[in-house]
Amino acid sequence: MKTRSVSKHKQGIFNDACELSVLCKAQTAVIAFSPNFDKDGVQTFGNPNPDSVINRYIHAGDDDRAWEEIAKLSQEVEEIPFEDLKAFAKSLEKLKRMSSPVVTR
């Protein structure tokens, strides 16, 4: 994969993580390792910031309630019917198109 393509996809993933954090009021973190690690290194995105999100889950092991909450939420997500998820994805795409600026010439 060419470097430009990787960069474009990486930016898309960061944009999706940002939208997810805003639309769902979720804390998100993404860590991307460049194929050219020596030149570009590691890039991160996080809301509110990557360190706080990562630290929250690293230290979640210190708090059994946090793991119980994670297990409960995971179970709730698994119980969502696939058709509902498809409808939700379509709604998100529609919102995305509505919120995108229209460029006319």
pTM above 0.95, yes or no: no
Distances (CA, A) of 11 to 34, 57, 71, 95: 12, 24, 30, 20
Give average pLDDT by consecutive 10-residue segment, the chain, 105 residues.
68 85 85 69 81 78 72 80 80 73 51
Residues 53-71 have pLDDT tens digits of 888 777 766 667 777 877 8
First to last CA, the chain: 33
CATH fold, domain 1-62, is SRF-like (3.40.1810)
Non-local CB neighbours of 21 within 8 Å, separated by 6+ positions: 27, 28, 47
Domain ranges of the chain: 1-62, 65-99
